[in-house]
Amino acid sequence: MINLNLLKPKVKLLAEELIKESKKAGVQIILVQGFRSREEQDALYAKGRTEKGKIVTNAKGGQSFHNYGVAFDVCPIVNGKVTWKYAELFKKVGSIGESIGLEWGGNWKKFKDLPHFQYTAGYTLAQFKNNKIDTEKFS
């Protein structure tokens, strides 16, 4: 479980609500990623490029909403184990996330990211980078 306190307060509340509503719908989930430092983001970006493994992100450090505490990733738990192989569970959770005001990465056109959720209050990545956001919208 990630440290929810590293997410912006509004995003933390939405993550907790997603867990609760998913459970009500019969899907247990766990948050597996939340806030990431730029260094952690760069290490993920290196996977499948300069490091062994499969490409898991197209974002370098500073280019991900994870770096600003407004994004998190989830994974379903089936029979007591974390599992990545049930797309229908991710879709069910994705629908729940959208119903409570989150953006779901499973609906992205270019790089579908089934575990990913974010709440940006309509701000762009450039606005986060340049600290041009109203922090009250995340309280």
Span 84-126, pLDDT tens digits:
999 999 999 999 999 999 999 999 998 899 999 999 999 999 9
CB atoms within 10 A of CB 79: 5
Distances (CA, A) of 133 to 45, 115, 123: 26, 25, 7
Mean pLDDT of 45-71: 95
- May I ask the CATH class of domain 4-131? alpha beta
Span 5-41, pLDDT tens digits:
999 999 999 999 999 999 999 999 999 999 999 999 9
How long is the chain?
Answer: 139
| Sequence ranges of the domains in the chain | 4-131
